Amino acid sequence: MAQLSSSPPSDFIREIIDEHLRTNRFQGRVATRFPPEPNGYLHIGHAKSVCLNFGIAAQYGGTCNLRMDDTDPAGESQEYVDSIIRDVKWLGFDWEDRLYYASDYYEQLYQFAMQLIRMGKAYVCSLSANEIREYRGTLTEPGKESPYRNRFMEENLDLFERMRAGEFKEGTHVLRAKIDMASPNITMRDPIMFRIRYEPHYRTGNKWVIYPMYDFAHCLSDSIEKITHSICTLEFENNRPLYDWFLDELKVEYHPQQIEFARLNLSYTVLSKRRLIELVENGNVSGWDDPRMPALAGMRRRGYTPEAILNFCERIGVAKNDSLIDLALLEHCVREDLNIKAPRVMAVLRPLRVVIDNYPEGQVEEFDCPYHPQNPEMGSRKVPFSPILFIEQEAFMEHPPEKFYRLAPGKEVRLRYGYFIKCVNVVKDPNTGEVTEVHCTYDPETRSGFAPDGRKVDATIHWVSAKHSLSAEVRLYDRLFSVADPMEGGSDFTEYLNSKSLEIIRECRVEPSLANAGPGSRLQFERTGYFCVDPVDSSGKALVFNRTTTLRDSWAKISEKEKR
């Protein structure tokens, strides 16, 4: 099971459940569900809902179902179902044998509709879609009753059966609930329950040519599954009276309590399947699993851990008012988790050659380097050292400003896990003047990382042995959008895509121990960031690493400021 804390902080939803338990509203039962529509991959917003529904079920010893709310043949597919199953499992949640599909309830929903027709509470309306819209009225004006509203029950039954039998064209008839065209809540103005669609469904094929509307199917699916608490996002608040109307009129045995909470909005990204599909289809990203995507598939490929996502969801909590959560908080949670879990290794992204002039030619030493400075249980590996190394280009400056602590002519630094080296000379490209090689001497007395005479150095730099290191491609990711709220302003959100969200560096050099790192392995490249082996493109012959996150933690700074 997922690693949610056993006693999460309480919130208004848990308070409502506590109250229901006290008053025995549901005979002590707690039954929730996570009900995605399989028309896209899950994103981090869905993770909030997954954690909430499964978390509550676990905390109260109840159950949580996974239900595909698949009532619309357009855009739904088995690929999406498979991705949803994979992602919820990856987060660590278990629905046991309770995987359900709204499409399995079509017959039951049809029978419920027939029942409402017989009760005089539903009618077949033959207005066009445009006319229905016009008749609906506005927020300030009541709607107008459809001329078909008072059809006899027998006629409605006959027409609805013939709708099902495929006798009518799309758009010619719909089934509507007979509620109140003057209701201040527009949702209650005779909403549509069933419509004709000749599109095949990914599960039911051509069996059905009428499909239930989401509002009709959703509340009854919850009732069929004996859900006690139908937890959903705030935009469904206006639909609650309608759900209650269907459930009350049909006198169902199980009438769930709907509770709405604020959806997750995250800065520098968009959390809407429709918009994310647009990015995939436009080719703005390489797919749903592009590591810049807020989709769980993308986050997994980027190296985020399920534990970090769960921790993030718990920290943001649930509330009744919308807010924009800082992406830096999510990154903070990822760093916090990887700091504990990721083995440390050395990799040089932009290599500069260093030659140690006084090191015996042909000699190779092996340094035993711990994988984690604070956790000896993670063990160690051997890192070869030889007279020709690579260090980062940015670790050297020929004419350093004051306060440049790394390598420079005449300066001494420590090699991580190794000797002190001192720069004695540089070789330059005669045409460009660029430094191509740095010559150093090493002090054999400093193997322990300290000088016996007590002299100090200002910096420790990471390195790899030129001969032994492996070539790798490294992909550096940054936020997908360049503004905090790409939806603000209402213009085309793709205009705010960050053109620098992906930088690919080839010819990086990594220590030889990484030859065996499996797909998806997460590592810290010392002094550089957290990385993972790309599970799609990396192979033993051509290593590819994704940067999960940098080491710098802007969230720590933000929260520090807030405390002051």
Contact positions toward ligand ATP, by CB under 6 A? 35-37, 45-46, 48-49, 232-233, 263-264, 271-274
Catalytic residue among 98, 144, 263, 350: 263
Query: Measured from the CB of residue 233, what is the shortest distance to ligand ATP in angstroms?
Result: 4
Residue 164 is a catalytic residue: no
Write the DSSP assignment of 68-135 as a string of letters: E----STT--HHHHHHHHHHHHHHT---TT-EEEGGGGHHHHHHHHHHHHHTT-EEEE---HHHHHHH
- Return the number of the residue (86 or 350) whose C-beta is nearest ligand ATP: 86
- Return the number of the residue (124 or 271) whose C-beta is nearest ligand ATP: 271
- Return the number of the residue (230 or 465) whose C-beta is nearest ligand ATP: 230
Residue 263 is a catalytic residue: yes
DSSP state at residue 223: H
- Return the number of the residue (263 or 439) whose C-beta is nearest ligand ATP: 263
What is the residue whose two structure tokens read 């017989």?
118
Burial of 45 (0-12, 13-18, 19+ CB in 10 A): buried
Pure H helices in 6-71? 12-23, 44-59
Residue 151 is a catalytic residue: no
Secondary structure string (H, E, C) spanning 415-475: ECCCCEEEEEEEEECCCCCCEEEEEEEEEHHHCCCCCCCCCCCCCEECCEECCCCEEEEEE
- Give me the long-range contacts of 157-164 (CB less than 8 A, separation at least 24): 157/114, 157/117, 157/118, 159/124, 160/113, 160/114, 160/117, 160/124, 160/194, 163/124, 163/194, 163/196, 163/209, 163/210, 164/110, 164/208, 164/209, 164/210
Catalytic residue among 176, 203, 273, 344: 273
- Return the number of the residue (62 or 294) whose C-beta is nearest ligand ATP: 294
Burial of 432 (0-12, 13-18, 19+ CB in 10 A): exposed
Report how far residue 486's alpha carbon sits from residue 268's, in angstroms, rounded to the nearest whole number.
Answer: 7
- Return the number of the residue (75 or 520) whose C-beta is nearest ligand ATP: 75
Query: Measured from the CB of residue 300, what is the shortest distance to ligand ATP in angstroms?
Result: 18
Query: Measured from the CB of residue 120, what is the shortest distance to ligand ATP in angstroms?
Result: 32
Query: Measured from the CB of residue 327, what is the shortest distance to ligand ATP in angstroms?
Result: 14
Query: Measured from the CB of residue 99, what is the shortest distance to ligand ATP in angstroms?
Result: 15
Query: Measured from the CB of residue 81, what is the shortest distance to ligand ATP in angstroms?
Result: 11
Query: Measured from the CB of residue 276, what is the shortest distance to ligand ATP in angstroms?
Result: 7
Catalytic residue among 37, 307, 412, 511: 37
- Return the number of the residue (53 or 386) whose C-beta is nearest ligand ATP: 53
Tell me which residues are annotated as active site: 37, 263, 273
